[in-house]
Chain A
Amino acid sequence: MSVPGKPSLSLRSVSQVLRTPGLARSITVLLSGALLLLLVVNASTFLMIQRTATLNEQVDSSWLVRRAGRTLLISLQQAESAQRGFLLTGQASFLVDYQTAERMAFTRLDELEDRIAGDTVGEAAIEGLEASIRAKFTEMNATLDASRAGRVGQAITRVRSGRGKALMDDIRRDIDAIDELQGQRVTNYTNASAQSASTTLAVNAIAGLLILLLAGVVAMLVRRYFHDMTEARAVIDRTNAGLEQRVRDRTAALTRANEEVQRFAYIVSHDLRSPLVNVMGFTSELEAAGQTIDRQISRLETVAPDLIETDAVTAVREELPEAIGFIRASTAKMDGLINAILKLSREGRRNLVPETLGMTTLVQGIADSVRHQVDATEGQIVVEPLPDFESDRLSIEQILGNLIDNAVKYLDPSRPGQIVISGEALAGGWVRFSVADNGRGIALRDHERIFELFRRAGRQDTPGEGLGLAFVRNSVRRLGGSIEIESELGKGSTFHLKFPTRLILEKTGDTL
C-alpha cells in the first residue's frame, strides 16, 4: 500500500460506508441534518440581530427627525412669542429674544434637513416647510420693522390680517406631517423588528424541535443497533456454544473410534496369535512324528529294504521337511506382521509427555549412534543447529532415529554417504526439520507407498519389516505434525517434518 494512496483509501472507505444502505448511513445523514439545522438557526439568529440593529438605527434616526421637527416648532413659537411681546411692549429685550429664536430656528431647520437628507418624501416636505418658515420670518420681520419705525398700528393690522397665523398653521401642519410620517415609520420598524424576532423565534423553535426529533431518531437507531448487536452476539455465542459442543461430540466420537480401532488391532493381533501357536506347535509335533517315522524307515532299510517303497522315503525325507519348512517360514512371517501391528497399536496407546527438547543435542546423539556405519562408507553425517521445541521426547527420538537409520541403511554404496539434518523455526508456531541424504532415492510412484504398513520400495536387498515409515508417519501425526518426502530415484531423499512448537495434548484419541 503506497503512502499517497492512504487518504484516498480512507476516503473511499468513508464513502463506501455512506453508500451502503444501513445504520451508519442513516445516523450520518440524521446527524448531518441536525448540524444543518443548527447552522440555519445560527444564521437566522445572526440575520435577525443584524436586522434589528438596522431597524434600531432607523428608529433612532426617525426619533431624531421627530425631535428636530418639535424643537424647530418650539423655536418658531419662541420667535412668534418674542415678536408679539415686542409688538405689545416695544421693549428691546423681546427683539433680542426674537433674533436668538430666529437663528435657532434656522439652525434647527438645517439640522432637520441634515437628518432627513436621502429621504425623498421627507425632502419634498422640507422644501415646502422651509418656504413657509422663510415666509413666516419675512412676515414677522415686516411687522417688527413697522413697529420699530413707529408704525405700531400698521404692524398690528398686519398681524390681525391672519397671514402670520396662517403661515404658522401651515408650518405646524408640515411638521406634524413629518412627525406623523416618522411616527408611522417607527411603528413600522418596531413591527418589523417584532416580526423578525418572532420569525427567528419560530425558526429556532422549529429547528430545536427538529433537532430533538433527529436526536430521538438517532437515539432510537443507536438503541436498535445496540439491541441488534447484542442479539447478534447472543446468536454468535449460541452458535459458538453449539459449535463447541459439536466439536466436543465429534472429538469424543473420534476418540471412541480411535480407541475402538486400537482395541480392535490389539484384540485381532492377539486372536491371530492364538491359532498361530497351534500352527507352530503342531508343525513341530508333526516334524517330531516325521522324525519318528524316518527312524523307523532307517531301521527297516537295514532289516527289510525290499519292504520300503521309494515314495514313502521321499515323502518322509523330502516332502514332509519341505512342507514343514514352508509352514514355519510363513508362520514366522505372520508372527512378524502381528508383532508389527501390536507395536503400532501399543505406540498409539502410549501417553505423550510434552517437554522442551534440546533438538541439536538430541539429534547429535542419534547421529553419533550411527556414525560408525556412515564412516565405514567414507561418508559423513552433519547435524546443523536445530531449533528447540516442546514435544514428546520418546516419539521425536523414535521418529528421527527411524529416518536417520533409513538414511544410513539406504545409502548408495557407489558414493560416499552424505546425511544432513537441518531445521528452522517457522512463523505461526511451527518448526521444520529435514533429514536429507544422497542415497538411492525413491521413485515418485513409491512416495506414498513407503508410508504404508508392510510396504517397501526399491530393491529388497536390506532386511526390514516395512514398518519404520508407517510408524514414523503415525507418530508424527500423533504429535500434530506432518511428514513429506522429496526424492528422486538414484539421487537421494529428503524427509521434511513439521511440528507445532508446542504439543497441545487434547483429550482426543490417538490415531493408529
Chain B
Amino acid sequence: MTNSNPVKIVMVEDDHGHAKLIEKNIRRANISNEIKHFDAGQPALDYLFSAEVLANGPLLILLDLNLPDMSGIDILAEVKRDDRLKRAPVVVLTTTDDKTEIQRCYDLGCNVYITKPVDYESFAAAIRQLGLFLSVMQAPEIE
C-alpha cells in the first residue's frame, strides 16, 4: 500500500465486541490503515455517500449482514449500484453461512464473503489472514 494513497477501511459492524476483536486482529497483522467504524447501516451509508469519501481516495468496506436498522445486503446493493463506489472492494464478514445469503451477496457484487468462526482461534486467524490479504491487495481509486 502506498502512503500517498492510504486505503481507508470502513467497517460496518453493530456488535462492538466483534468490531474491537476485528480491529485488534487486523492490527496484529500489521495493518495500520485508518479504520472507520459504524454500528448501524444508515450512518455508514450517509458517510459512504458523503463528499468526504470522494476527497479521501480509495476505501475498502468490511460489512456485517445483521445490522439493527437494515440488512448489510441493502448496503451492499446501494454501494454496488453507485457508479463511483461500485469499484470499492466489499468484504462481507458475518455469522450467516446460509447458502442463499452467500449467493445473493456474490450476485450483488461482493468481493469476498467470510463467515465469522465461533472458535476464537479460527476467528483471529481468519481476520489476520484478511489483514495479510488487505496488505497485498490493490484498491481502485474512488473518482
Contact = CB atoms under 8 A, between A and B. Distances in A.
Contacts of B116: 273, 277
Interface size class of B (residues with CB under 8 A): 10 to 19
B123 A277 contact: yes
A274 B18 contact: yes
Interface string B100-143: 00000000000000001011110110000000000000000000
Contact of A273 (B24, B95, B121): B95
A266 B65 CA distance: 14
Given A285-B24, A335-B119, A274 B15 contact: yes
A278 B66 contact: no
Given A270-B66, A284-B124, A335-B118, A277 B24 contact: no
B46 interface: no
Contacts of B66: 270-271, 274
A305 interface: no
B5 interface: no
A458 interface: no
A259 to B, nearest CB: 14
Interface in B20-73: 21, 24, 66
Interface string A253-271: 0000000000000100011
A24 interface: no
B15 A281 contact: no
Contacts of A335: 118-119
A335 B117 CA distance: 10
A277 B98 contact: no
Contacts of B17: 275, 277-278, 281-282
Contacts of A274: 15, 18, 66, 95
B120 A277 contact: yes
Contacts of B21: 277-278, 281-282, 285
A280 B123 contact: yes
Contact of A280 (B24, B95, B120): B120
Interface size class of A (residues with CB under 8 A): 10 to 19
A147 interface: no
A330 to B, nearest CB: 13
**Which residue, A266, A277, A331, has most C-beta atoms of chain B within 10 A?**
A277
A69 to B, nearest CB: 127
Nearest to A287: B120
Contact of A270 (B18, B96, B119, B121): B96
Contacts of B121: 284
Nearest to B117: A277
A276 interface: yes
Nearest to B64: A274
A283 interface: yes
B120 A273 contact: no
A283 B96 CA distance: 22
Nearest to A282: B17
**Which residue, A266, A280, A285, has most C-beta atoms of chain B within 10 A?**
A280
Contacts of B95: 270, 273-274, 277
B24 to A, nearest CB: 7
Contact of B15 (A266, A270, A278): A278
Nearest to B15: A274
5 contacts: A270-B96, A271-B66, A281-B123, A285-B24, A335-B119
Given A277-B15, A277-B18, A282-B17, 6 more contacts: A271-B66, A273-B95, A274-B95, A275-B15, A278-B15, A281-B21
Interface of A: 266, 270-271, 273-278, 280-285, 331, 335, 338
User: Which 9 A/B pairs are nearest by Cβ-Cβ distance?
Assistant: A278-B17, A280-B120, A281-B21, A284-B120, A281-B120, A273-B95, A335-B118, A270-B95, A274-B95
